[in-house]
Chains A and B, each alone.
Chain A
């Protein structure tokens, strides 16, 4: 664990509900952007002059690496921006940097997880499958470019609701054993419709989790039955719609009248004091959950965040209902680590990077999992946002 994540984890351990108003903004300010993360990654992957060296020198190093790898310096002309600005480069650039630095598959995974805060190869995308193939088989950049030019193109669609789907793990298995470039292109041509969708496993997990949560006698209903009635002394709004359950997960069921708009929490989310911009982007909403349940195309970040939210809720309600016959929302022994391992398992199995303290969205869950009553802590965070929103609304 590096110092950066160590500090963030320590911050999570020392943040309580009572000091959140003062401490949370400080922690949010301490998250680094892509530039700083890239700089640190270079430092641990062959940059000789050390972390303190100037950004200009690091940019020159990157351009040199691009040239050496046959990518060309022109593709790295914005290198200085990459190193100095928070969100200055996209996934495509990320793969080129990985190629230029000669990263392995595992190192590329690490690069995306810690620098871009995103998944690495989405092998259900032909372009990224080519990156995977070339990096795994030590092909040069020219070969990658040639394959990309010759590969068929595919449009994105929803995951088919019927018929067999091709899982990413099967594609990866093929890519690793693929004997030649021709075989790879042939594979793409033969399976072209299968490259029109992605995140199959992740969406399958989301559907399964949602079924467990929202289904008849599901976790949401059980939570209402055993905990929310006791807590509030009355029945909470027992709405089994996506919106009702979504609000229940966030602990906003009783604040629903304060939320204006068409069943969206967007107004509450737009809070830069207590929520980092990256956590705010692609935050799961009622609409996005419904979209994912329909298997529609979504950004990796959104799908990953939704998976975390639902798996987190599922874990803690399950835990609350099965404490040896005693039902309590308090965490049991080792539950924090058990929860985080569970989340990691979901993420890795769905092809996403595991929980990372340097990711502001992940950090919220990392913090909540470490509290005495994690689900309540997570909701207290939302109460904070909701209260802030109400205050701002009434001021205006």
Chain B
């Protein structure tokens, strides 16, 4: 317990000099003294405030008598005497400090030392209004200046061999307001540095401190851990108190403590470096662990000098753009490492960060730079304003402290002056310029900017891959788990069910992992109270722009808006700057789904020769390019498709549709071009004579590519206003009629769509579609549906050609169905067809006629109906066509060979001749039927039938198994599975005919399994099953 009794207020002290001091009251006590507030009267009668320090050591247990006398009668007299001597010595030390050259204005002048009441008193001048707590300071620089001077004064005390240990505002007096000199008061806390390590003397000191300003070791009373660093803490705490208005606490004293500079008492703008140095200063002064602090006051003074300099309002520096780390960020570890390394690599000064709009470029940069602020004195974000010059001139973006354009100054002059100042700053400060949305790599001032000796990041959507620049390309986030977390985060949920997770993944795929689109779409789902499956369905049907008109929150950099998703996305991809020609290209490219289309191919479609327009769109980031193809990002595609339909915008689309149509038309059935010898020119005749005629045949792969390209385009157009227009219907017609047979479902799907409203098609084109659809229906044994198509076909039978085609369709049904009465009808239809085909005026006439002639020859040779004598007439007419007017590799030539095969096999039972025909047909078939199903239909099944007729069962089995192998090679396609099933059914007949019950049973089992597995109709009759079961095993 502190037993010391202070002098009571109004006690008067008259010292030997005659001066009378009056005590106002105790203002504090330390280990060895009590300090009083007091005054004396000047000769003019004014009160002059003083502080009076009375020697009254705590540990000597002195008693105060009623007359204020301090009694020491407990054997401590000698120690008390020593303490008095020490007080005199300290007084002399203070005077020494006062008169020392470098500190004469930094230490408070003590007035005198006196003896009274059996103790010693030191009186110091003290002006209440000059005390730091009573001073109004309103500038950051003044604060720092005071602390620097205090640190300077304490450094002098350290040099004199003492620790001060009680730095606080109450002990600081600021005199001469013009130059702000400080003086310290209260040296009672002084401890000789030499005593700290001396175990014998350390017990004599009782530490006094003020809690908020005292270092941890001082508060814990750990005398041996004291040192100059203890006062260093006091200096840090003093500055902290002056600028934040509170004393530091534990969270401020950690090694990595961060400080909220928005809470400064003086909201002045200072360079970033100021805050960096200030943070560093606090780390090195306020650290709880004393070894982390400055070991002496010297570096603290130096640091304060630098900080004070930066706090000067006239200091020229680049004012940093305020920015913060994004509240939420995910992924991009690899790119972060690259950017982090770039930030630290002093040899690298420029970086182009490229990527499409909304992929998160600016957010990524803010994220990385927010953790790397300490590397720069200024970080300035500039938004590209059309040209680098305008961007640079804009003081709102690039603001040099204390600099602005004079009213009479020209733009060019200001540019030069600002540039000079910037170069000057860059020589001194570490500066990072970030030019966001940079969009002109041919800017005339780019070289000037690249030449600035500071780091620069250009954020751009442009694809600068072709230029020799350091580029970091930001692609979509690759990790689905990251993207899913991103979606769930903006959905405002913590977890989702497995079903929802699957929907989210589908949404992410539909949005091509585009970061912003995912964020916005998740917000939309949440704001519009949609379920994820609803949202996915709407996205698939309507595209991202039209999912909902509900507004959503959107945060970009540090601003938040509340608007419709559509307006956010369309603003992100602002098309105002694009020409009609460029939009036309984009709209055309939007027709092609992933993986897009080759650039040369697009040029061909658009009928343009110069690639510049496409190159520009690639560079500006509108078009994405990979190794082979160019394509639109789904988000851009949605925006482009949403652009208004105008004549100019549509040119590219229409041209593309037309070219696609023409491509298919010119690539299909070239072998069916009949050559009219009368019209063939000598030049063409010469060319044809040099070409292997078997090579003139449709390239099915090429045709298939065109057809599938058209199919992708058609799919795209289904939700487009163009759907139903003539060019689309024409293309669709060409696409359907040229789809390969194994695309049976697609043929039905698209064919039926087209047949619902074929208003832009000619009757012949409609019949072509009906022919294709009917083929599939007959394959499916859906005879009624096939039959139902005859009604629209009949409506299209408007001239000789279409009538002939109509009868061809009618004959196909009867021939395939083979119901009672169908044979007769086949013959009738053939005769009618031949009649109309002979009259048809146009080029397909011969082709049609040949088809019918072959049909009739078949009917006679295979079915035995009609007049057998007519066969020879038909044969002669056909041979004439085949030999003189057909290319050898055509369906007609092949059909002729097969028909003759049937003639020899069925009519004449001449296997040798029949096999010659099969061989001849095979030569054509292997070139002509490049699609397996065609080959089976035309080169497997007919010979198989011939071999059955010839009772050559082994040969028949071999041929059918060739066909089954072809099907097995395409087992992933249903049409082949179905065809395989048909071939196996034929094989069953072969085994039955060949009397091989074992093989037949085995085949029935296979057929049954396939029926179960693929839900095919059962075609094995009960009779067959019963018969097989009746045979012994």
Contact = CB atoms under 8 A, between A and B. Distances in A.
B254 interface: yes
Nearest to B206: A106
Contacts of B212: 169
Interface stretch (A25-33, A189-197, A339-347): A339-347
Contacts of B251: 205, 208
B1 A138 contact: yes
Contact of A334 (B289, B327, B494): B289
A8 to B, nearest CB: 18
B289 A342 contact: yes
B219 interface: yes
B1006 interface: no
A318 interface: yes
A260 interface: no
A104 B494 CA distance: 55
Given A169-B211, A348-B216, A354-B220, A342 B288 contact: yes
Given A104-B2, A341-B216, A349-B249, A318 B256 contact: yes
B515 to A, nearest CB: 17
A138 B328 contact: no
Interface in A189-227: 201, 205, 208, 216-217
A357 interface: no
A350 B219 CA distance: 13
Interface residues of B, number: 25
Contact of B253 (A103, A104, A208, A345): A345
User: Which of B1, B255, B327 has most chain A Cβ within 10 Å?
Assistant: B1
A354 B2 CA distance: 23
Given A138-B2, A138-B3, A205 B288 contact: no
A287 interface: no
A107 B2 CA distance: 11
B845 to A, nearest CB: 74
Contact of A341 (B256, B288, B327, B328): B288
B216 A345 contact: yes
Contacts of A311: 250
Contacts of A350: 250
A342 B292 CA distance: 12
B1 A102 contact: yes
A317 to B, nearest CB: 11
The secondary structure that dominates the A interface is: helix
Interface in A139-198: 169
Contact of A338 (B219, B255, B329): B255
Interface string A297-340: 00000000000000100010011001000000000001001100
Interface in B245-289: 249-251, 253-256, 288-289
A318 B2 contact: no
A338 B292 contact: yes
Given A216-B328, A348-B219, A342 B291 contact: no
B250 A135 contact: no
Contacts of B329: 217
Contact of A345 (B1, B3, B250): B250
B1 A103 contact: yes
Contacts of A169: 211-212
B289 A338 contact: yes
A244 B616 CA distance: 53
A251 to B, nearest CB: 23
A337 B287 CA distance: 12
Contacts of A107: 1
A217 B288 CA distance: 26
Interface residues of A, number: 31
B interface secondary structure, majority: loop
Interface in A340-375: 341-342, 344-346, 348-350, 354
A169 B254 CA distance: 21
B1 A344 contact: no
Contacts of B494: 240
Contact of B1 (A135, A201, A322, A334): A135
A342 B219 contact: no
Contact of A322 (B216, B219, B249, B256): B256
B380 to A, nearest CB: 26
Interface in B829-875: none
A316 to B, nearest CB: 12
A344 B2 contact: no
Contacts of B250: 205, 311, 342, 345-346, 348-350
Contact of A344 (B256, B288, B291, B328): B288
A318 B283 CA distance: 15
B291 A334 contact: yes
Nearest to B207: A106
A337 B216 contact: no
A179 to B, nearest CB: 9
Given A135-B1, A334-B289, A341-B288, A315 B254 contact: yes
A214 to B, nearest CB: 14
Contacts of B254: 315, 318, 342
Contact of A342 (B211, B220, B253): B253
A350 B249 CA distance: 9
A311 B216 CA distance: 16
Contacts of B219: 348
B32 to A, nearest CB: 16
B210 to A, nearest CB: 11
A350 B951 CA distance: 106
A83 B648 CA distance: 101
B375 to A, nearest CB: 13
A344 B328 CA distance: 34
Q: Which of A319, A322, A334, A344: most chain B Cβ within 10 A?
A: A344
Interface in B187-246: 211-212, 216, 219-221
A138 B641 CA distance: 88
A106 B251 CA distance: 24
Nearest to B5: A138
Interface in A263-318: 311, 315, 318
Nearest to A235: B481
A132 B919 CA distance: 118
A253 B327 CA distance: 26
B732 to A, nearest CB: 50
Contacts of B292: 338
A334 B328 CA distance: 34
A318 B253 CA distance: 14
Contacts of A342: 250, 253-254, 288-289
A366 to B, nearest CB: 15
A319 B254 CA distance: 10
Contacts of A334: 289, 291
A7 B791 CA distance: 107
A89 to B, nearest CB: 21
B205 to A, nearest CB: 14
Interface in B307-332: 327-329
A337 B291 CA distance: 10
Contacts of A338: 255, 288-289, 291-292
B368 to A, nearest CB: 14
Which of B253, B289, B291 has the largest number of chain A CB atoms within 10 A?
B289
A341 B230 CA distance: 14
13 contacts: A138-B1, A201-B249, A205-B250, A208-B251, A216-B328, A311-B250, A338-B288, A341-B289, A342-B289, A345-B253, A348-B219, A348-B220, A349-B250
Interface of A: 102-104, 106-107, 135, 138, 169, 201, 205, 208, 216-217, 240, 311, 315, 318-319, 322, 334, 337-338, 341-342, 344-346, 348-350, 354
Ranked nearest first, the 6 interchain pairs of A and B with the lowest CB-CB distance are: A338-B289, A345-B288, A346-B250, A341-B288, A345-B250, A341-B289
Given A216-B328, A342-B253, A344-B220, 11 more contacts: A201-B249, A205-B251, A311-B250, A315-B254, A318-B256, A322-B255, A342-B254, A345-B250, A348-B219, A349-B249, A350-B250
